Amino acid sequence: MQAIHIPGMDDVTEPRRTGTGAASGALRGRMLTSEPMAKHTSWRVGGPADRFYVATDVEDLAQLLRNLPAQEPLVWVGLGSNLLVRDGGIRGTVILLSGLLGEIELRDEREVIAGAGAPCARVARFGATHGLAGAEFLAGIPGTVGGALAMNAGAFGRETWNIVERVETIDRHGTKRHRKRSEFRVGYRTVVAPAEEWYLAAEFLLQADPSRQGPARIRRLLEERAERQPTGVFSCGSVFRNPEGDYAGRLIEKCGLKGERVGHASVSTKHANFIINEGGATAAEIEELILHVQDAVKAMTGVRLVPEVRIVGEAPRPRGENHVA
Ligand SMILES: Cc1cc2nc3c(=O)[nH]c(=O)nc-3n(C[C@H](O)[C@H](O)[C@H](O)COP(=O)(O)OP(=O)(O)OC[C@H]3O[C@@H](n4cnc5c(N)ncnc54)[C@H](O)[C@@H]3O)c2cc1C
> Which domains does the chain possess?
1-96 (3.30.43.10), 104-212 (3.30.465.10), 230-312 (3.90.78.10)
Q: How confident is the model at residue 70 (pLDDT cuts 50, 70, 90)?
A: very high
Ligand 1 site residues, Cβ closer than 6 angstroms = 42, 75-83, 97, 116, 140-144, 146-148, 150-151, 153-155, 198-199, 235-237, 310
The minimum-distance atom of ligand 1 relative to the CA of 154 is 11
- Name which residue sits closest to atom 14 of ligand 1, judged by CA: 237
Predicted pLDDT of residue 17: 40
Give the whole-angstrom CA distance, residue 207 versus residue 167.
18
Query: Which range among 18-27, 133-142, 233-242, 265-274 shows the weakest confidence by mean pLDDT?
Result: 18-27
Cα(96) to ligand 1 centroid in Å equals 13
Classify residue 311 by its DSSP letter.
Answer: E
Candidates 81, 235, 238, 266; catalytic one: 238
Tell how far CA 198 is from the center of its chain.
12
Predicted pLDDT of residue 6: 80
- Name which residue sits closest to atom 36 of ligand 1, judged by CA: 147
Has residue 11 got a pLDDT over 70? no
**Residue 188, beta-bridge partner list:** none
Query: Can you list the positions of beta strands (E) in the chain?
Result: 30-36, 48-54, 74-77, 83-85, 90-96, 104-107, 111-115, 132-133, 154-155, 158-159, 164-171, 176-180, 185-187, 190-192, 197-205, 207-208, 261-262, 265-267, 275-277, 310-312
Q: How confident is the model at residue 12 (pLDDT cuts 50, 70, 90)?
A: low
Amino acid at 262: V
Helix (H, G, I), strand (E, B) or coil at 218: helix
Classify residue 156 by its DSSP letter.
Answer: T
The minimum-distance atom of ligand 1 relative to the CA of 193 is 43
The rounded mean pLDDT for the chain is 93
pLDDT by residue (tens digit) across 102-118? 999 999 999 999 999 99
Give the whole-angstrom CA distance, residue 233 versus residue 153.
20
Give the whole-angstrom CA distance, residue 53 versus residue 66.
14
Predicted pLDDT of residue 13: 46
Q: Please state the rounded mean pLDDT for residues 71-95.
A: 98
288 vs 316, higher pLDDT = 288
Predicted pLDDT of residue 15: 39
Q: Please state the rounded mean pLDDT for residues 276-304.
A: 98
Amino acid at 270: K
Residue 68 near residue 52 (C-beta atoms within 8 A): no
- C-alpha distances (whole Å) from 295 to each of 8, 192, 205, 266, 286 are 49, 28, 41, 16, 14
pLDDT by residue (tens digit) across 192-208? 999 999 999 999 999 99
Active site residue 308: yes
Tell how far CA 102 is from the center of its chain.
15
Give the whole-angstrom CA distance, residue 38 versus residue 10.
26
pLDDT by residue (tens digit) across 93-102? 999 999 999 9
Give the whole-angstrom CA distance, residue 72 versus residue 114.
28
Q: 93: burial class by Cβ within 10 Å (0-12, 13-18, 19+)?
A: buried
Give the whole-angstrom CA distance, residue 14 versus residue 149.
34
Active site residue 319: no
Has residue 21 got a pLDDT over 80? no
